[in-house]
Amino acid sequence: MKIIKSITCALVLLITLTSCGKKTDEQIITNNVKSFAKALYSGDFKKAAKYCTKDAAESIIMIEGLITEDMLKDMKKTNPSVEIIEISIDELSLTARVKCIIKGAYDLNSKTGISPDEIPTSFILYKEEKKWLIN
């Protein structure tokens, strides 16, 4: 009887530990979008590009070349936050659409730099080689 209880406890523990270690697609997408947006809106373009498809990464690096040093200094002073509103995953086409709100971001259209408003944004992600990347 003790052996059966021991085996049962061991199996329950194994199943619990196995299920806790793996992140869902939604968790990975959330993490990638938040990391990308925080990097992008605070002027860390190289870090932001790591979360992108090849084409999107090239665009991000091109944007970096258009930002003045003063703008970049101001961007680095910000601490943007990202609130995920909705994630829609299409398993067939391996795409995801994420609607979110960026707060406390640098606003390129503002004289003061930091946007007092929330910036509603959406991102499209593609799953490439088991990675969810912003496009």
Express each pLDDT in 99-128 by its tens digit.
999 998 887 666 656 666 788 899 999 999
- Backbone dihedral angles phi then psi of residue 35, each to the nearest 5 degrees: -65, -45
* In the predicted structure, residue 54 carries a pLDDT above the cut 60: yes
Q: 59 versus 3: which is more confidently predicted?
A: 59
Q: Give the Å distances, CA to CA, from 2 to 5, 6, 14, 16, 95.
A: 5, 6, 18, 21, 50
Please compute the mean of the pLDDT values over residues 46-73 and round it to a whole number: 94
- Backbone dihedral angles phi then psi of residue 114, each to the nearest 5 degrees: -85, 130
Q: Residue 111: what pLDDT?
A: 60
Average pLDDT over the chain, rounded to an integer: 85
Please compute the mean of the pLDDT values over residues 56-82 and round it to a whole number: 92
Range with lowest mean pLDDT among 31-35, 68-72, 115-119:
115-119
Q: Residue 112: what pLDDT?
A: 59
The answer to whether 135 and 126 have CB atoms below 8 angstroms apart is yes
